[in-house]
Amino acid sequence: MIETIHTTLYFISAIVILIGFHEYGHFIVARKLGIKVEKFSIGFGPSLFSWRGKDGEVEYVIAAIPLGGYVKMLGENPYEQLEENETRVVLSEADKKRAFNNQPVWKRAAVAVAGPGFNFIFAIFAYMLVAWMGHQVLPPVIGSVNPNSEAEHQGLLVGDRIVAVDETKVTSWQAFEETLKLNVGGEHLLSIDRDGQHIKLPVYLSHPEKDVFLSNVAEEVLGLGLGLDILVQEVMPDSPAEKALLQAGDQILAVNGEPVKSVHGLIDVIGKHAGDTVQIQVQRGSSQLQLAVTPKGNEAGRGLIGVRLSAKPWAEPEWQRKGIWDGVVYGFVRTWEVTVMTGEMFKRMVSSSISADNLGGPIAIAQMAGNTADRGLVYFIMFLAFFSVNLAILNLLPIPVLDGGMLLFLAIEQVRGKALSPEMQMRFQMVGMLLIMTLMLFAFYNDIMRLFRG
């Protein structure tokens, strides 16, 4: 119960901060351009608190459902425009000049872009703060090399520190993996620090069997690992693992005689043996045990044994902290890297090369918010920055009701020389709303299914 409250509070905090910043972008740019703003709301539904600004023009609202927000501008809503046309409501000359729909295209585009733009700005400053505060990273030091792998063939050794991929410097294992994901296909040069000696080794990055963004490229393509102890964190009641006498704290060494080098690798092997008994070798204290486990198939036919796993790296984490100027550079560079990665993920999901089952909804976001907050403030800020970039890109999709949909309408207006009729805008808005609601429901369904699957 306490954990649920804790997760919910951090989720609400994240949503309020990021949605508030997004809507403030629309709000401040509209006001600066002379457009009349009638309401600024954080959240949807019934109003919990409301007040008016000093000029009495804008109503500020904190609403009951903290899953979004909006800025209501005079003349923005097609429904409103229809009503005015039908009932011949006449605005004052002053209000006509300030109505959103009477503004030139560039002003309306500036207001539409401002929301996602402020999310990018938030991410840049958040990543700057992360760089200045400092955080722990796993060093890009090779802990294991798989036999007969690309890494072994090219002469990479345990203990080598990866310095760069081509001209891209890497300072953590995560950065190394992200760089590999963006460079699959073709030959690349790895810059290596081996006992103080700088070496450059060519490697060929073939495409993994699964989509690159769902793969561990270092392990699956190159055959490199950090070097990890795979530990059982929790055994689910009445699970195949409990029946086989697996215990929390066991270190999993091998499955059917094949060494286990990553959580992903273990899940993959178990997933292929639904209904088949496998031999799992574990280290328990000073003893090694051989346990027979029969994975149970889920609805997708993948084997599960009912455990929560953790990975303890052999390498000691390193403290990474940057100075003022380097932190500024990091803010821009990291935001760009996350933008590229997120854009690729969206593109692949739309093209169906990545299954939509990987889409996360409010429960997944809440869990991420709670988990990162548990690790410390700097990790929560990193989550906010990452989520802010995702929010910006999502809103730039050319779907009516999103900012990208507004930009699409404005582009059509610029080409045609006149705006779409309010009736046509209304129809598109309804289609867009249906698409977004369907997407949200599907993401929520994915969240529920993940909870049931454990």
Query: How many whole angstroms separate alpha carbon 124 and alpha carbon 94?
Result: 38
The tokens for 106 are: 């560039």
Look-up: residue for tokens 């369907």? 438
Architecture field, domain 228-313:
Roll (2.30)
Fold agreement (144-225, 228-313):
yes
pLDDT per residue rounded down to tens, the chain (454 residues): 566 676 777 778 888 888 899 999 999 999 999 999 989 998 888 888 889 888 888 899 988 887 778 899 988 776 555 454 544 456 677 777 888 888 899 999 999 999 999 999 999 999 999 999 999 888 999 988 888 889 889 999 988 999 999 988 999 988 998 888 888 888 999 999 998 899 999 999 887 777 666 678 888 888 888 888 889 888 889 888 888 888 888 999 888 888 887 787 788 888 888 888 889 898 998 889 898 988 888 777 788 888 888 888 887 888 999 999 999 999 999 999 999 888 887 776 666 555 555 555 555 666 666 677 677 888 899 989 999 998 999 899 888 888 998 999 899 888 888 877 878 888 887 887 788 777 777 666 665 665 555 4
Domain ranges, ordered by start, for the chain: 2-132+384-453, 144-225, 228-313
* pLDDT at res. 87: 47
Do residues 241 and 309 make contact, with C-beta atoms less than 8 angstroms apart? no
* pLDDT at res. 335: 96
* pLDDT at res. 362: 57
User: Which of these is catalytic: 23, 80, 177, 178?
Assistant: 23
51-60 burial, b for 16+ CB within 10 Å, e for fewer?
Answer: eeeeeeebbe
Architecture field, domain 144-225:
Roll (2.30)
Q: 3 catalytic, yes or no?
A: no
Nearest CA among 365, 400, 398 for reference residue 17? 365
The tokens for 162 are: 């990866």
* pLDDT at res. 360: 57
